[in-house]
Every structure is written in C-alpha cells, then in structure tokens.
Amino acid sequence: MGAPLEVEHIIPRALKGKTTYNNLCLACHRCNEYKSDRIAAIDPLTKETIALFNPRLQHWREHFMWSRDGIEIIGITPCGRATVEALRLNNENVVTARYIWAKVGFHPPID
C-alpha cells in the first residue's frame, strides 16, 4: 500500500543463497535492511536462536496474527516472534501507516 517492494533473498547471497525463484520474495526496503544477511534471530520469549520466517516454506497465519485493531503483527510461535523483532515489523512508521489504512478500511489484509 504505497511502499515500493524489492526482491529479497531468503537465504542471503552472503550465505551462498542462490538467485532462484524459491529463494526470492518481495519485501519492503526497511524490512530488507533490518533482515540484512540474517537467517535467524532471538525469540524474545525463549531467548533461543530461531530461524526467521520463510514465506516460501511456511504459512503466515501459522506464525503471526494481527492485533485486535489490525495495527500490529503479533508473533505466535518462536519463529513468528523472532521475525517480528528482527524485521521490526511493528516499527513506528509502519504502525502509523497501518493505523491510517485501518481507519479507511484498507487494513488488515483479508486472505
């Protein structure tokens, strides 16, 4: 919704990830920057290192849900929580945008 997307390597090229369809996804610039060359992050609840969410192999709804107001992404598994934290999926800018989108009925997305 207004933010340009860029191609992201799920397994970063710095870690020998290939530029193939199965290793690529779309991400906003900020999420891509926050992810950098990581494939894992710390789950804030268990403090364990957990693999980041892989949109090619995992289903969003198994790891995340929307807050009641549709503004924040909530990680519901170790993978989800680690991904929310690592990619800063609830940073101030995106939460503000989601708030506006929700007020006009554009958010949260429907399957």
Could you read off the pLDDT of 9-52 as tens digits, one per residue? 999 999 999 999 999 999 989 889 999 999 999 999 999 999 99
**Do 54 and 77 meet the contact criterion of CB atoms below 8 Å apart?**
no
Residue 14 included in any domain: yes
Residue 68 included in any domain: yes
Residue 111 included in any domain: no
**Angstrom distance (rounded) from CA 103 to CA 45:** 31
Residue 46 included in any domain: yes
Residue 60 included in any domain: yes
Residue 49 included in any domain: yes
**Angstrom distance (rounded) from CA 21 to CA 56:** 9
**pTM summary value:** 0.90
Q: How many folded domains does the chain comprise?
A: 1
